[in-house]
Structure 1
């Protein structure tokens, strides 16, 4: 059948499409800047249509109206990664958190988390009847492939990306056209602490290395410190505006990559319009699902990969909590462990957990004798490699518990070192020297 005929027959109003979502069903929403915000807001405006519908996703940049108290009985959120707009609902019991490695999420939609409806955001069809998932391929493509019902917000402001980002119009049940700017995340304003952390991380990066970076102040600070490096590459779960600057400066060329050479590989993108314009129809950017980019075995194909992630708290054994404050879930595992394990399997790969040495305006140490009660161990002491703060670098891989504790104390904040040294001497029955 002609793809234009399929498209026209399945083009409908938001009401016609969204009323097909069944009571008690699981709705998986597109991720981050690929979230179909118009469709979700429309559902919330018409909450009376729905009963006990689960809204499932990772990071959201939308309004999260379905998490409000007045949505009880209509919607319940299932977070695969808790974000700023969903934390309150999860903490207060109107939502749930499902722990999972990012690379395994597409597989969950084939088994433990069957999908009744996928709400996705796509480009208009190309000349071959293909739509691009643009900035959100990650788990979004798997959700669409496994859903009983696929509803697409067709947005002419979504950038068209390559790699494995395409769906045929025949794979989508309902098309709702709605043009809207993508949600933007502005670059961070960097403090001296963050710049120092970035400098320390950059000292571990060599010309020709391939990078995995997240988003936020510390990744931005790392990128800022890389302006004098050469021939860097990108294989990451995501990247943002800072990468664009280094491409334009000739620092990131991807020419030394052994795996996916000459391509910046990622599964989602989040930043400003500058980023979205950069990736639009850019054949040097390759977008793939998370079960490919984040699979540790795939990550390990990148020789000399450097993976940089952040953490909330690290204890003296090297256990890292990167997702909760005590029992309060503030984010999720994401791709941290995927890449840390992939880097450990790669030739000359290294992984870095970078964080300020303190929190709460310097009143709390992030390097602690024990993780807070209830805190999740995100990265185990067996997986951890480098830890970086503004005070230096601690290399933990292959070190004894005593050596680890000593190295971590050396990069803690001076205000807390005496207390940590006291714990060290009591635990290991020796003087700290």
Structure 2
């Protein structure tokens, strides 16, 4: 039986008593970190060089910093307090890394970072480890951790504990440690009553852990990802992507606004197909005749439904389950799946699949407070249909189970995001050309490789055609870039707001033409010129006239009626912001875009000085605490905000 304590300091004392000298500790990514235990451990060793600490983890989530007096800080302060709670236990080591303030005897090694948050941290950049998700367990075993610490859920009346949000690496790591002939690490659980209970293979006997920490209440909120607004470009990408999904197939999606847009498009396709087709026609009148849509996708509602198999379960999957898109069940009985595949299944097989089958598999989950509430409140039959699995089962073919997994993962579509793509089919997803890491490889390479390994699968990388660089638009279709995440020999399908580029098996010239066809019109000519100079494009190639429609204003005009009538809402999966805050977010986004350059800032300030008061400005200024401006800076901020509200007002 495990040792039980209620005080995090007592758990740290127990750990130090069992491990003398340096400490090598592993902790799950994202939600599964035991915040109270890790903070107690860091507080104990921060000023004690006699206990050097190496922490192996990823995605150390930290709420936004609301310090300062600028408009962003004024917006964030009330939101952060409401959304995360005043008692949210920020990870002390993560705050130190952001300031490059870790003591010399502490190192935190991560294989995935909160996107863009640590570009300026030398300590984080130097200690980053570039790994495919499926290689992490063995890399951890190589480091011979003394202990694995993890947040768990406890179910009233059960003697078992649930790994809940993170069934991804713990068991795989233990197996990898043992395979190397190393001693099994100590296992320490921190029970969090806020964590949703997930059953099945996510549960272990309490004796699986050596120590169970149950801190006293009150318990802070779980880290909730604020859901972001979906732009016109995001919706176009999601709509194009939704046409490549085959009924009865398998779905993997990532996280963020592009995944939200894809999820909404799939729901719209299923629940209001007539509206869905009107939106598609407005977006691209020729889309219904696209050869790839006919070959691998479809536009009809989902008669059979999809099976979800994704390393991360998120907000989109909640909506897809609730709307009936995700409902195709699979079973871990190979012979049953074979009979289903060849049409020889018995009536009892179908009954067993309905009773025991699962329609959604994931390795970890992360989302909004609403997402966590949904997991907590799932009826028993729906809860049983969601299986939290090891990462080795989700992101690759598990040894000995490949035949089964191929039967389960039929017609798989793997959708992930990248930052940039090259004209020859390489993808840039995790780092900049100077080597600094934005996020990490995670499972992207795993799913790209699996798309090529499965007979009827396709891998889709989604990206926005344009990015803002100091107030100037730049193309995300590059001729070349100094860093790639996915090499061009694994090229498959790319989608941005201007269309679909099918690169699988294509010549370099065909790839160039396909990628130029989804490049913003302002950047097509220089891209084609680079291709000609590199001998990858015929000198007499002439761009088709319809490519000139690849412009943001053309896209916005096409989607405008559906933005107005609510078919394409700003927050398709729900919002964590009040309606007033949603208006402010649009306004602040407009200001950011229009003050990114010196000239733009000057023009915006001059326009703000001429802007008269709006009818509802008072409530917005009150929310931002600018109703009584103190000094010139606050007075100017109030003027700028009024201008931005006027320019982004919805009619």
Q: Same fold (TM over 0.5)?
A: yes
The equivalent residue for 2:395 is: 294
Residue-by-residue CA offset, 1:144-185 (whole Å, 9 max, x unaligned):
665522221111111111342122222212221134332111
Structure 1 residue 123 corresponds to structure 2 residue 219: no
The equivalent residue for 2:47 is: 48
The equivalent residue for 2:449 is: 341
Structure 1 residue 313 corresponds to structure 2 residue 417: no
Residue-by-residue CA offset, 1:241-276 (whole Å, 9 max, x unaligned):
222122111222124896995320000000023322
The equivalent residue for 2:643 is: none
The equivalent residue for 2:239 is: 199
SS of match in other structure, 1:186: coil
Q: Distance in 2 between matches of 1:81 and 1:395?
A: 29
Q: Distance in 2 between matches of 1:93 and 1:269?
A: 24
- Tell me the matched-pair count: 423
Who wins on radius of gyration, i.e. which is larger? 2
The equivalent residue for 2:510 is: 403
Aligned partner (choices 438, 450, 461) of residue 330 of structure 1: 438
Q: How far is the alpha carbon of 1:45 from its aligned partner?
A: 3.0
Residue-by-residue CA offset, 1:109-168 (whole Å, 9 max, x unaligned):
33x232112110011266553210111111133346655222211111111113421222
Residue-by-residue CA offset, 1:162-218 (whole Å, 9 max, x unaligned):
342122222212221134332111222101110111011111112222100111010
Residue-by-residue CA offset, 1:356-396 (whole Å, 9 max, x unaligned):
0122266221111111x3x2x22121212100000000000
SS of match in other structure, 2:416: strand
The equivalent residue for 2:59 is: 59
Q: How far is the alpha carbon of 1:316 from its aligned partner?
A: 1.8
| C-alpha RMSD of matched pairs (Å) | 2.4
The equivalent residue for 1:367 is: 477
Alignment of 1:179-218 (within 5 A): 179-218=219-258
Aligned partner (choices 263, 268, 272) of residue 368 of structure 2: 272
Identify if the C-alpha distance between structure 1 residues 24 and 256 changes in structure 2 by more than 3 Å, giving closer, same or farther.
Answer: closer
Quick check: 1:28–1:118 contact (8 Å CA) kept in 2? yes
Task: Structure 2: state its 5+ residue gaps.
Answer: 63-89, 178-183, 271-301, 332-336, 339-352, 543-651
Identify if the C-alpha distance between structure 1 residues 207 and 125 changes in structure 2 by more than 3 Å, giving closer, same or farther.
Answer: closer
Quick check: 1:314–1:367 contact (8 Å CA) kept in 2? yes
Q: How far is the alpha carbon of 1:49 from its aligned partner?
A: 4.6
The equivalent residue for 2:34 is: 36
Between Structure 1 and Structure 2, the one with more strand by share is: 1
Aligned partner (choices 187, 202, 210) of residue 173 of structure 1: 210
Q: 78-87 or 334-343: which moved more?
A: 78-87
Identify if the C-alpha distance between structure 1 residues 174 and 332 changes in structure 2 by more than 3 Å, giving closer, same or farther.
Answer: same
Q: 295-304 or 170-179: which moved more?
A: 295-304
Quick check: 1:60–1:85 contact (8 Å CA) kept in 2? no
Q: Distance in 1 between matches of 2:209 and 2:111?
A: 24
Structure 1 residue 73 corresponds to structure 2 residue 110: no
Q: Distance in 1 between matches of 2:92 and 2:516?
A: 44
SS of match in other structure, 2:501: strand
Between Structure 1 and Structure 2, the one with more helix by share is: 2
Task: Structure 1: state its 5+ residue gaps.
Answer: 1-5
The equivalent residue for 1:3 is: none
Identify if the C-alpha distance between structure 1 residues 410 and 84 changes in structure 2 by more than 3 Å, giving closer, same or farther.
Answer: closer
Quick check: 2:358–2:387 contact (8 Å CA) kept in 1? no
